[in-house]
Structure 1
Amino acid sequence: MEKSVAYIALFAAMIAVLGLLPKISLGFGVPITAQSLGIMLCGTVLGARRGALAVLLFLLIVALGLPLLSGGRGGLGVFMGPTAGFLVGWVAAAFVTGLIVQYWRGMPVAVVASVASVIGGIIVLYGFGIVGMAIVLNKSFIEAAALVVAFIPGDIVKAIIAGLLTAALARARPGSLMGRRPAR
């Protein structure tokens, strides 16, 4: 229990640190940020439940006003802007990514973690983000989807990095992937 709490807090802090990297702002209010890599890693390393809890802890701290999102943003207002769908989607993204890593066996960890990051950290996340942008920006779902195309190349690179980092961690510390225990 204590170990889980420590890892949840550690990964929430990692998401915050990734927000310190300079953001690249796009014209429609959604920045390109390294924090989505942290979301992917929450799922691949901590598993579905713990990964989602780490993201929830981070979002709670942001909601309380700490400026931990890229560009030094924080407070309840960020949950009303164009990024709201992405922020809510972070929880689902970490959970889905973790589920895939937890249950998909028979492939190398790097492959599983990368594919899980694409499915959870890109496809699921974009679903939430597109809906949020369509609502906040008063656009159709197709128009909102067209806006997120700019994120795809960078997010694919992040998914590959998440897979490689997860595999490296699994090699360096066997059994360290909390959501992927050896089959019995």
Structure 2
Amino acid sequence: MEKTVTHVALFAAIIAVLGLLPNFQLGFGVPISAQSLGVMLAGTVLGAKRGALAVMLLLLVVALGLPLLAGGRGGLGVFVGPTAGFLWGWIAAAFVTGWVMERWSSAPVLPVAAVASVLGGIVVLYAFGIAGMAMVLQKSLPEAALLVTAFIPGDLIKAGIAAALTASLARARPGSLMSRRAS
């Protein structure tokens, strides 16, 4: 139990720290940042439940007002802005990424982590993000989907980085991937 709490807190902190990296603010209010890499890693390393808990912990601290999101944003207002769908989607993204890792635990880590990161960290995340942007920006779903095309190249790179880091961790510390152990 204590290890789980420590790991969840560590990955919440990793996601927060990745928000400190320089980001690019797009004209429609959604920044391109490295934080989704942390969400992918939370899923690939911690698994579905723990990965989602790490994201929920970060979002709780953000809701309390700490400026831990890209660009130093925090507070309740971020949950009703153009990024709201992406923020809520982080929970599902980490869960799905971890779920894929858990289900394919007998397959090699690198390809599974890559597929898991793309499915959870891009497909699922974009579904939430597009829906949120469509509502907040009063756009149709296709219009909102067109806006997020700017994210695709960077997110594919982040999925590759998450897969490579996860595979490296598995090689360096066999048994360290909680996503590959029975809960």
Indicate whether the TM-score tops 0.5: yes
Q: Distance between the aligned counterparts of 1:134 and 1:63, measured in 2?
A: 22
Aligned-partner residue type, residue 8 of structure 2:
I
Q: What is the alpha-carbon distance in structure 2 between the residues aligned to residue 51 and residue 88 of structure 1? A: 14
What residue identity is the alignment partner of 1:143?
A: E
Q: How large is the Cα RMSD of the aligned pairs?
A: 0.8
Which whole-Å deviations, capped at 9, do the CAs of 1:130-180 have from their partners, x for residues lacking one? 000000000000000000000000000000000000000001111100121
| 1:115 matched residue in structure 2 | 115
Corresponding residue for residue 23 of structure 1 = 23
Per-residue deviation, 1:108: 1.7
Runs of 4+ in 1 over 2 A off after TM superposition: none
Structure 1: which 5+ residue stretches go unaligned?
A: none
Deviations 1:33-64 (A, max 9, x none): 00000000000000000000000000000000
Partner of 1:49: 49
Code of the aligned partner of 2:118: V
CA distance in 1, matches of 2:39, 2:116: 12
Q: Aligned equivalents of 1:4 and 1:104: distance in 2? A: 22
Residue 61 of structure 1 aligns with which residue? 61
Percent identical among aligned pairs is 74
Give the structure 1 partner of residue 101 of structure 2: 101
CA distance in 1, matches of 2:4, 2:26: 36
1:107, CA displacement in angstroms?
2.9
State whether structure 2 residue 138 is matched by structure 1 residue 138. Answer: yes
Q: How many residues align?
A: 182
- One-letter amino acid of the structure 1 residue matched with residue 5 of structure 2: V
Please state whether the residue corresponding to 1:151 is helix, strand or coil. Answer: helix
Counterpart position of 2:91: 91
Separation in structure 1 between the aligned mates of residue 59 and residue 113 of structure 2, nearest angstrom:
23
Alignment of 1:158-173 (within 5 A): 158-173=158-173
Give the Cα–Cα distance (whole angstroms) in 1 for the partners of residues 177 and 45 of structure 2: 5
Q: Which residue of 1 aligns with 2:148?
A: 148
Q: Which whole-Å CA distance do the structure 1 matches of 2:4 and 2:173 have between them?
A: 16
User: Using the alignment, how far apart are the partners of 2:102 and 2:177 within structure 1?
Assistant: 9
> Higher mean Cα deviation, 120-129 or 172-181?
172-181
Contact 2:105 2:180 in 1 (8 A): no
- The Cα of 1:105 is off from its aligned counterpart by 3.7
